[in-house]
Structure 1
């Protein structure tokens, strides 16, 4: 069960086949005094309201049915939403809606592990085998907690309910437990020696969830809520477990499915049991809550600063490494951003920020091909408009 890594593609998609046009709802706030986004970075400018409005105009279309966007930071603020709540009613999208946040869950998991490290309950340099001695076979060399956090463990991906959308959709109400996922990964043997490469996989964070439960004696969801969500002020975020429904207001998600006659059918994928994603990707949140997470986390209000450095440190001596503990380093327009994307069927999400919080971005796009190989065109337009 390999997690798809989403990065900004090289070229901006300029032409889209749009459906019925709906006006983007947007609001702006005056920029605060411009600030530098880091060493060697240009002076910040206010978000480009025109470019951001244009990025989400024309929804729903073939690529997305809705988009919710929050741009913030000391450079200025912009809020916008577009699209529909669902295709049947065509009611306007709820800008405060909950959605499946996908792999942005890993930011919460990393923060949780680092908080436990600050409390002396986890040592990042200690092998996970010390805490969970029966988890891995003797085929695996010692894998440190830090190597799980930065995806250098060498543990291969676990199995899911198939690779195609059709296979997975058929099992959308079934439960695959995290321990079953880990067992399927362990049975394959190591992918490479720990610390030799970086391979972004959900399995690392699934194991971190098991580690949290072992050292605390409490459920992952309870500990993540107590030590991360509440300190960050995330009031509308929760972990659904094996429940397929999204509680509270939410916009529907769809997957575009090509039919035998060449037409495209949009399948409602809103209800889906994501229990196998767990500590790697099973969180439900809002754009406002994810913005609170970024601001609280980067300012040191969730993880103490000595441990917070792990989130801004790439593994040494690994060529091409871009992942730290829970985040990804991304340089664009002369600025360095630390970001995390996430994708579940029907929903694509990203959080990004400069380390000094001069610019932050959170979006949720109801992508019609959220697990596709390429970045969603609407999401790409938003990112290019917000991060320039």
Structure 2
């Protein structure tokens, strides 16, 4: 499907006028009216297809939606819709690795080369003129390894972050081949000396889990997290292009610059391009349950949870731990969680440290920037 942004704006206005854009009335907002308004602003002003919210706080559970799940049918987004969560996969991977550390299977300060001797990271620190330092598992989880992001590779971006994606989106990828793109480039800095977000780190972390357990990171996430928490909407699709179960459409401008680039339906794609850095599918209900369980200690012993929450500066309002972001909102409230973007989908889930107020948002489009205004509206009302 090929629609212009101008035409989509007209469709959104029509849907809104017909009363289909918002699934929760003001009377049923349960104190989330500002959040609902922020969602509508994203649809009406940013031109995204739709926004879906799931919140749990002292008043109970609330779900809301704005816009549409499908430009063709005009159906609204529904509370139990599943969607791709991109880098929100990372807290799941980090949790498994920290569980393995708590069990004595590995140590956070193990060199990656101990587990992946074929990757040849041993001299990586020396390559940037610093003292010899081996990249460690801790540095992978905390994005302090200095390893470049494979997703920033110019050749990969020309193929997968442009209209050429429509031809190549069915291709399968192995983490080894994706990692080669990073290791062929100079390190960004000596390991452990700075912070720089790199999806390559989590491809490596997924490989370490497999080497340490004899099972794939997907099998370990399912066994250790999905089943115990009964996250029935959450899946690791591997190379499958489908979103299983109830879902809407996901749309992309394919990162074409300009005021009104064409919008494409990219619901079906092979997520092995993201792998352990961002392949997962979930729902608002599952993400709220996972994030609350994680920060309140249901998944990790106190020492490992403290390691995960030991953060360093990663932006003007964010700090990053081991697979977990600490964000301070304008009203002074601190929340913990992660963001995730993949073609056609933008997701974020955050919770207060005590787990009493948790929110997950999804936008079924990838051109809207981020979801910060939604969290400001939800947590700072």
Cα distance in structure 2, aligned partners of 1:384 and 1:151:
26
4+ residue segments displaced more than 6 Å: 27-30, 257-262, 318-321
Tell whether 2:95 aligns with 1:102: no
5+ residue gaps, structure 2 = 1-8, 125-132
Whole-Å separation in 1 of the counterparts to 2:116 and 2:255: 45
Q: 1:153 aligns with which of 138, 145, 161?
A: 145
Maintained 8 Å contact 2:21/2:76: no
Equivalent of 1:300, from 297, 300, 313?
297
1:143-188 CA-partner distances (Å, limit 9, x unpaired): 1111111000111122473243223333111112111011221122
CA contact (8 A) 1:349 1:362 kept: yes
Question: Is 1:29–1:78's contact at 8 Å kept on the other side of the alignment?
Answer: no
Deviations 1:216-268 (A, max 9, x none): 00111101110122222211111111111111111101123699998543210
C-alpha deviation, 1:81, in angstroms = 1.7
Tell me the SS of whatever aligns to 2:271.
coil
Match of 2:130 in 1: none
Is 1:171 paired with 2:168? yes
Q: 1:275 aligned to 2:272?
A: yes
Question: Is the CA contact (8 Å cut-off) linking 1:27 and 1:78 kept in structure 2?
Answer: no
Pick one of 68, 71, 95 that aligns with 1:87: 71
For residues 304-327 of structure 1, the C-alpha deviation after alignment (integer angstroms, 9 at most, x for no partner) is 2211112211149x9998210111
Instruction: Tell me what 1:56 maps to.
Output: 39
State which drifts further: 278-287 or 136-145: 136-145
Q: Which runs of 5+ in 1 are unaligned?
A: 1-15, 31-45
Residue 189 of structure 1 and its aligned partner are, at CA, apart by 3.6
Shift, 1:287, TM fit: 0.5
CA deviation vs aligned residue, 1:26-50 (integer Å, no higher than 9, x gap) = 28999xxxxxxxxxxxxxxx97422
Tell me the matched-pair count.
352
| Superposition deviation, residue 84 in structure 1 | 2.0
2:215 to 218, 223, 226: 218
Cα distance change of structure 1 residues 203 and 165 upon mapping to structure 2, 3 Å threshold:
same
Equivalence for 2:13: 19
Normalising by structure 1, we get a TM-score of 0.83
C-alpha contact 1:105 1:282 (8 A) present in aligned 2: yes
After superposition, the Cα gap between the structure-2 partners of 1:255 and 1:19, relative to the gap in structure 1 and judged at 3 Å, is: farther
Shift in Å at residue 92 of structure 1? 2.1
State how far apart, in whole Å, the 1-side matches of 2:213 and 2:237 are.
20
SS of 1:200's partner is coil
Contact 2:349–2:359 (CA under 8 A) maintained in structure 1:
yes
8 Å CA contact retained: 2:236, 2:279: yes
Q: Distance in 1 between matches of 2:23 and 2:219?
A: 36
- Contact kept in structure 1, 2:318 and 2:328, CA below 8 Å: no
Structure 2 length-normalised TM: 0.84
